[in-house]
Structure 1
Amino acid sequence: MYRVLIFLVFTAHVFGVTPEPDTRESAREEKLRSALIDAFQNIKKASGKGGLDDDLASDLIGSRIAVPHLTKTEKTTADSFDLFADDDGLTFSEVFGDVETEKRVSSTEKSHNVQHIVKTTKPMEITTIKPNAVVKTTIPVRHVVETVEPKIQPAGLNDTVMLGLESMLRILDSEILMQQWDKLKNSVTGDCRKNLQEYVQGLQERRLWALKMEDSSGRYTSMFYWGNNYWTGSAELCSILNQHHSTQHAHTTQNSSGSQIFSEWRQDVSVTGDGPPFSTAFFNVRMTVSTDVAEIIKTKRTLHLGLCLPRTCSREQVRQLVDNVRAPLLRHKVVAVRSPQLGGYSYIEDPTFQILLGVSCVVGALLIAATAYDMKIASDVRARRRRVNNMAAAESGHADLRLNMNGLDAITVSKGKSMYNVNNNIAINTNNSEERLTAETASTDEELKLSIWSELLLSFSMKANILQIFDQSVGSDTVPVVHGLRTFSMLWIIFGHTCIVVFKYADNTALRAVLEKSFWFQLILSAVYSVDTFFCLGGLLFSFLYFRTNAKGKLERLTKGRPKITAGLFQFLGLIGYRFARLTAPYLFMLGVVEVTMKWFAYNAVFEPPAHDHETCPSYWWRNVLYINTLFPVEQMCMLWSWYLSDDTQFYAVSAVLLILATSHFKLSAILTSVFFVSSLFTTGYVSYSSQHVPNGEDPFTQFDKIYDKPWTRLGPYLVGIATGWILFKTNLKINMSRVWWCVGWAVCAGVLLSLVFGLHGARLAGVTAAVFSALSHSLWAACVGWVIIACSTGHGGWVRPLLSSPVLYPFSRVTYCAYLVHPVVLRYVAMHLTHPIHLGELLVFVLFLGLAVISFFLAFVISVAFEAPIVTMLKIVSPQKKPHRV
């Protein structure tokens, strides 16, 4: 029977697709229809099964067949068939078993039982003529039928067969809300239930405002297996629904618009039409999802679902509502619910914000007053310079007498007084009411007295501080290459942190797994070594400046006449106090900024904050101020990136003892330094081996709390810097080296650096090998940085020296400390103001990095002028060695 059927179908297809005149075509179509009807009647008689009911038949054909109303006698089984076509000819598929008669379901639910994917290739209109009825079909004749196996039918949902990932990953949408509303309404109470009832009715009535609410809610769209865990919807659309816009206003805007395309588009966007009868709020629901079907989700995943719901619903009610939803396939558990509209935090009432505001006002007033005072002094100096020129010329009687007054540009601070020095031999007398400037008095030294308070006020002069930051002159006995190393290392840190943050809020986070396999991506993963560069530079500058200052005898002035132990103690307290005063002012300010901003983000941002500083900073900020926060668990750390400041300050304290001891017992100091260095290496190796730490390029921050941020594992690079500074001091920046040796040194240095950056690409270390790499890698990096500094400072740097010593880099180098403090705040600010995940690409990451770097350095410049530079100037004023204040 089936062979006869296939032969008839094939014959009909051959004759049906051949172009013929209209009369012959009508005859062939009639024969084809008669053959199909007879064939199906014979099949049903042979199988003993009845025909399909009318509802299911109409749903199968769907929008392709227009079926007029037929009487009971006209309802035949001739049209109750499933007709599909492929490229090879007509095929038929029986996909239905016995139809339930006891439980009648809707035609839509029955159509879900059809396990076919239809691909249309060539439509062909078919007209069936029957007595008293005309059935016109537009069913495509050429189709491809693909049966989906196996059917995914979760327990309890046997009446639903899911096709495609979109139907499987449903959690809470309009259809589920309407179907389960009778049960879900018990999860909410009060006005929330009332408004949700109105929302459900609006969906049933297809009200525009209800459809917009559904449109602004999140759902699965795509890229679930590409790392899209953010189904956020649109918080902006949900918020805009609270603004009631009339249709008439939209038409008025349309008529006044100059762009026809824009005018047509405005008719359908969110700002047109009436809003809902209640206020809306956007809720971000963080939940864990899993399923018994391992082929879909192998492990538990965290999803972020955005929902636009009535504002009268609280976060707890939304949690209960979503928890009680019966999803078709997924099992979910709500972890947290956040709502930007509901908020819950007012920064105006926060004492931390009030303190920040007060400090900012005071500092701003000091900056303005000091700058005005500085400009007044500069104006007076210029006026006096002109009077000196005029009076000297008149007294000499020679019109062509010229005095070189270019030296009148400094205030030399000395014991609370300032002297405007004109070429070191012309002084200005301001103590007499009648000023007399003659050639005779021009050769005397008289002082312009300024109180210590005036000098401290001038420390806040924006003019002087800006000139100091942008000053491109350095001393001949300094190490200018550190400016380039600082700047490039800071950019490397910003680049690494940018990649970490943006990948967290991307809809294609799995892209990182692909990029990590790239050879050049190791440049980003190896940004951890930039911190070792800063450790090395810190130790180098401390050692070099300390030994040079001690050699000039300046330290003896502070401790002269005191026992060595007492003198050493005074030196230690002075060094620690100087560092604490210099670092703490901008650090404290940024601690307050981080606490306030993270509190606001935690309550008002769509996305979850990357850290819990809003919880840790109010409780543990004092650890940051004492620079001991790395001695506690990382979960309790406020301002996570401050671990570097804590370690660096602890290294500074240990090194201060070693350097003070080196002035009187150099060998003992050297032995202790070596012991500390070797102990740090062995400690790092032991911790790595015992914790089974495996260094790899995919996650350089593994074991962060055990290895990465602990001072006993990061001491090595700082001690390498101490040794490098001592070498530069002892050689006085002069080392004679043959061309062969410095070429060998550069080759070895480049090889080690490249091996550390790219060596882990494709490598898998374990056991002792992994422990050795963890122990030596950071110190080896610092040793190579030390070689670069020594080579460039002693005339063997080649093209590297002018690159790292470029004066253009000096201003950026001087604000790297503030840039380090502020750049993560800028990153978080940008990320927390997003309402949608970022779709990352290689070019986009680079563009984000450039923008964030520019903003970070600009804000660092502002903070340095306001906080860091005034403190540095005041420390110079109160210290025994004072430098002139530039006018």
Structure 2
Amino acid sequence: MKIFIVVFTCLLLVPDLMATATNETEASSNDFIIIARIAENISQLKSSSCRNDLKSAVDAFRERKPWAVSMFDASVKSPVGVENGVEYQFGNFDECLQIATDFKTDGVDIQPKYCLADVTMDGYVVRKTASRNVEIKNSTIVHWGVCLPASCSNEDINLLMKSLTRQSEVNIDSKKCQVKETSKFSGIDLTFGFTILSFLTIVTFSTMYHIYVIYTRKTAKLRNDVTIDEIAKSFSIIANAKKLVKESKDELGLSCVNGIKAVSMFCIISGHALVFMVGGPVQNTEFYQKESVKVQNAFLQNSPLLVDSFLLLSGFLFARLVLIEMDKRRGKINFGILYIFRYIRLTPAYLAMIGLYSTWFIRIGDGPLWKHRISLEQERCQHSWWKNILYINNYYGNDELCMFQSWYLATDTQLFILAPLLIYPLWKSIKLGSIFIGITTTISVIIPFYVTFTQKLDPTFIVWPSEITDLSANTYFINTYGKTHMRATGYIFGILAGFLAFYVNKKQITISNRTRNLLWILTSVIGIYSMYSVTLYYIPTYRYSVLESALYNSLHRLGWSVFTAWVVFASVTSEDGALKSFLSSRALVPLSRLTYCAYLTNGFIELYMYATIRTPKFMSVTNLLGETLSHVCLTFLAALVLCLLFESPIHGMEKMLLRRSSHVQSRERSSESDEFNVNSSRSASTSEISA
């Protein structure tokens, strides 16, 4: 009976075993067919070393040598999901480059090279995609990962790929080919590394000294009210962390600005994350097309308006503080000093990030896209770093923009320099100042209309995945998006809101609840329409005229500026209310003080996450939400490091310098001057504002 059961079981298993064996044979057969095709085309290759190494690899694969199997296994044999939008077929980058390390003991003398070839696949059509061009082409460019001997040149790989894929067009970019190597350090690399190490050493010793003071309660004093203790603790992590979490004073009602900055920065980072995710390798390109036409997602697609909010806050704070000081000093203010302190305030942390891009950034990661994308960013920063720190890179040399978000600092600085031309007339004569600012506002609206109409531009920066793979190469972004004359409206409205807040406070004018409610309704309608109407332009079949595009470009920023100016004005001038309570929340204060550094570090995070990707992302609402939150958290974490190392210590040193420079004045006057100089030099930036 037992023998019968065993025989019966074996008979049942025979079909399954035969099927498994057949599948394994077919898979093995397919592999050997590809290997045979490679062997047939080896003779066509130009380089003798490539022919020899590739022949050795083919022979080793037939003998099932582990290193040769890994080289074959890491390469894409046939793309999958192309018609669903999977244009990036990476293979296995890490498996390829690890061969040289894993199989040294086998006596392997062939170094592997990973390449991402651009293969035009005729007959393959991406059926569903997000693009302004709804025309379906009968071919698709597939980024095809292959692992081959490093001795093979780009020309050799090109010939081999054409033979294997049976496609007529194959392109190999040398920057998309990588080998595992230890690169040499340049003088710039060593200089930057030494600078960062020096700062870390100072921070370490400063923090240790602070700990010593906490336990011993000993301090050392120096004349002129500046103590050695202050200098020694200026780089202390403990002291600077305390400044970050310190409660913000509600002088002049400006504490609500903290919340506006924090919320705006959260949305801006989320918008940047979305741009880099949809512009990178994805599995389901149709997802973005479906979501982009949904009204609820417009705040992400129209996130440039939130950058205008920062410009408006800059103008508001600068005007608010300068007007108060003008009243005290009877109009006598040295704006040159403010320009100098602003430059000192902003540049060190900015320069540190530029240095990182130019040197060590390319060494701290890897991936199929890494070398091509990060080396491009490195070259741009090495060529144009001086344009950045002169704050002219939004006009001069913007075709090689270092740090895609750096246009903002240039625009903000230029508006900061020009702001007194509007503020002083308002202080001198309300009537003449109002006329002048009215004319300036009108011009700021007409210019975007004229530029958009004459150049037949989009109504705003429309985010299509195929056009945002590299933001710094996007025509609209580099030629129109960051120009000061295209973004001045928000800053001008900020100055106007700052003047109105100053005037209402000075004259002790009370705005009735009825008037406030009416203005809330009116400005909210304008703001909502300005933000959410952008959805219309993401409908591929929607055709808008040049006139409509020009009107939208000029008026949607005007509308958003009206709304944001009212929110700021209403929050600052009201004594209570749910909105002001939320915006003034102490929980938002640390995030608000990190916004400048977050703006600087966000590009680094986005590039790193993009260039280290190994597999295309599957996009869904939950996946994008999780990714976006991770980008926000990583950005603020990097901002914290930058702030503690550079921004906060420099700010502390700046305050000490101001104190020494004003010591010859009376103590009371010195205190007022210090506070004014510090706040004014910082008010036009995205950095912390001491309210």
Give TM class, smaller chain: 0.7 to 0.9
* Residue 501 of structure 1 pairs with residue 337 of structure 2: no
Deviations 1:333-377 (A, max 9, x none): 33445333245844xx13332222222222223223333444555
Question: Are 1:713 and 2:571 counterparts?
Answer: no
Structure 1's 633 and 210: CA in aligned 2 closer, same or farther, altered over 3 A? same
What residue in structure 1 maps to residue 638 of structure 2? 859
Q: CA deviation at 1:783?
A: 1.7
The within-5 A match list for 1:103-122 is none
Contact 1:522-1:757 at 8 Å conserved across structures: yes
Structure 1 residue aligned with 2:350, among 587, 590, 604? 587
Residue in structure 2 matching 1:551, options 309, 323, 327: 327
Alpha-carbon shift at residue 735 of structure 1 (Å)? 4.8
TM-superposed CA distance for 1:210, in Å, is: 3.6
TM-score with structure 2 setting the length: 0.80
Question: d(CA) in 2 for partners of 1:412 and 1:841?
Answer: 60
1:756 matches 2:530: yes
The 1:478/1:364 distance shift into structure 2, 3 A limit, reads farther
Within-5 A mapping of 1:682-693: 682-693=446-457
How do 1:772-787 residues align onto structure 2 when only pairs under 5 Å count?
Answer: 772-787=551-566
Where in structure 2 are there 5+ consecutive unaligned residues?
1-14, 20-29, 128-135, 465-473, 663-669, 676-691
How many residue pairs match? The answer is 614
Q: Aligned in 2, Cα 1:310/1:460: closer, same or farther, shift over 3 Å?
A: same
Contact 1:230 1:837 in 2 (8 A): yes
Change over 3 Å in CA distance of 1:739–1:493 after alignment to 2: same
Partner residue of 2:477?
Answer: 704
Superposition deviation, residue 574 in structure 1: 0.7
Provide the residue aligned with 1:416 in structure 2: 224
Q: Which residue of 1 aligns with 2:143?
A: 304
Pair 1:770-2:549 in alignment: yes
Determine the structure 1 residue equivalent to 2:261: 486
Counterpart-to-counterpart distance in 1, 2:321 and 2:186: 43
The letter of the residue matching 1:758 is Y
- Tell me the secondary structure at the aligned position of residue 630 of structure 1: coil
Q: Does the CA-based 8 Å contact 1:484-1:809 persist in structure 2?
A: yes
Alpha-carbon distance between aligned partners in 2 of 1:618 and 1:595, rounded to the nearest angstrom: 5
**Residue of structure 1 in register with 2:240 after alignment:** 465
Deviations 1:139-187 (CA, angstroms, capped at 9, x unpaired)? xxxxxxxxxxxxxxxxxxxxxxxxxxxxxxxxx9864552254444332
Q: Distance in 2 between matches of 1:215 and 1:379?
A: 61
| Cα offset, 1:188, TM superposition | 4.2
Residue 738 of structure 1 corresponds to which residue in structure 2? 512
Partner of 1:850: 629
Does residue 577 of the first structure (1) align with residue 340 of the second (2)? yes
More helix by proportion, 1 or 2? 2
- 1:370-519 matches, within 5 Å, as 370-377=206-213, 382=217, 416-417=224-225, 450=227, 455-503=230-278, 504-519=280-295
Distance in 2, matches of 1:801 and 1:735, equals 19
State which of 303, 312, 315 in structure 2 corresponds to 1:539.
Answer: 315
Query: Which one-letter code corresponds to 1:595 in the other structure?
Result: S
- C-alpha displacement at 1:550, in angstroms? 2.8
- 1:185 has 2:43 as partner: yes
Query: In 2, distance between residues paired with 1:498 and 1:667?
Result: 45
Matched-pair identity in %? 23
For structure 1, the residue ranges without an aligned partner over 5 or more in a row are 1-124, 126-137, 139-171, 247-273, 385-410, 419-449, 560-567
Question: Is the alpha carbon distance of 1:357 and 1:749 closer, same or farther for their aligned partners in structure 2, counting shifts above 3 Å?
Answer: same
Does 1:339 pair with 2:177? yes
Structure number with larger C-alpha Rg = 1
> CA shift at 1:541, angstroms?
0.8
How big is the shift at 1:501?
1.2
Match of 2:89 among 204, 223, 231: 231
1:437 corresponds to which residue?
none
Q: 1:748 to 1:668 in 2, by over 3 A?
A: closer
- 1:200: Cα distance to partner? 2.2
1:502 touches 1:831 (CA, 8 Å); kept in 2?
yes
Instruction: Check the 8 A contact 2:392/2:410 in 1, yes or no.
Output: yes
SS in 2 for 1:761: helix
| Bigger relative CO (Cα 8 Å, ≥ 6 apart) | 2
Provide the C-alpha distance between the structure 1 equivalents of 2:394 and 2:208, rounded to a whole number of angstroms.
43
Q: Secondary structure at the match of 1:631?
A: coil
Post-superposition CA distance 1:813-865 (Å, at most 9, x none): 00100001001211222222222222222211111111221121122112112
Q: What is the rounded CA distance, in whole Å, between the counterparts of 1:860 and 1:292 in structure 2?
A: 47
Deviations 1:201-251 (A, max 9, x none): 3444555554432221024443212221111111222234445579xxxxx
Q: 1:315 to 1:669 in 2, by over 3 A?
A: farther
1:826 maps to 605
Aligned residue for 1:285, secondary structure, equals: strand
8 Å Cα contact 1:241-1:276 kept in structure 2:
no
In 2, distance between residues paired with 1:277 and 1:344? 19
Match of 2:468 in 1: none
Task: Provide Cα deviations, 1:250-275, integer angstroms capped at 9, x if missing partner.
Answer: xxxxxxxxxxxxxxxxxxxxxxxx97
Distance 1:843 1:610, change over 3 A: farther
Change (3 A) 1:633 1:686: farther
Q: Aligned partners of 1:337, 1:863: CA distance in 2, in Å?
A: 30
SS of 1:728's partner is helix
For residue 579 of structure 1, report the CA deviation from its aligned partner. Answer: 0.8
611-620 vs 783-792, which deviates more?
611-620
- Asked if residue 868 in structure 1 is aligned to residue 639 in structure 2, the reply is no
**2:290 and 2:640 mapped to 1: Cα distance?**
37
CA distance in 1 between counterparts of 2:435 and 2:234 reads 42
Q: After TM superposition, give the deviation of residue 867 of structure 1 in Å.
A: 1.1
CA contact (8 A) 1:343 1:604 kept: no
Residues 201, 217 of structure 1: CA spacing in aligned structure 2 closer, same or farther, 3 A cutoff? same
User: Out of 166, 190, 195, which is 1:354 matched to?
Assistant: 190
State the Cα distance separating 1:682 from its structure 2 match.
0.9
Secondary structure at the counterpart of residue 114 of structure 2: strand
Offset, 1:456? 3.7
Amino acid at match of 2:476: Q
Residue type matched to 1:318 in 2? I
Deviation of 1:667 after TM superposition, in Å, equals 5.1
| d(CA) in 2 for partners of 1:523, 1:832 | 26
Q: Which amino acid aligns with 1:580?
A: Y
- Structure 2 residue aligned with 1:73: none
1:564-606 residue CA offsets vs partner (Å, 9 max, x unmatched): xxxx6xx121111011000000000000112225544898654
Asked whether 1:810 is paired with 2:626, we answer: no
Query: Which letter maps to 1:720?
Result: F
Deviations along 1:304-337, whole A, 9 cap, x unmatched?
Answer: 2111222443555434543x52633563333445
Answer yes or no: is the 8 Å Cα contact 1:684–1:775 preserved in 2: yes
1:30 counterpart residue number? none
Q: For the residues of structure 2 that align with 1:705 and 1:299, how far apart are their CA atoms?
A: 31
> Are residues 509 and 614 of structure 1, via their aligned partners in 2, closer, same or farther at CA, if it must alter by over 3 Å?
farther
RMSD: 3.5
Indicate conservation of the 8 Å contact 2:117/2:170, yes or no: no
Structure 2 residue aligned with 1:612: 376
CA gap 1:305/1:276 in 2 versus in 1, 3 angstroms: farther
Q: Counterpart of 2:615?
A: 836
Distance 1:597 1:635, change over 3 A: farther
Question: Match for 1:786: what amino acid?
Answer: A
Matches of 2:32 and 2:430, distance apart in 1: 78
Q: Describe the shift of the 1:285–1:782 C-alpha distance in structure 2 as closer, same or farther (beyond 3 A).
A: same
After superposition, the C-alpha distances for 1:665-704 in whole angstroms (9 at most, x for unaligned) are 6655544433332222111001111122232785388722
User: Partners in 2 of 1:731 and 1:868 — Cα distance?
Assistant: 34
Conservation of the 8 A alpha-carbon contact between 2:154 and 2:173: no
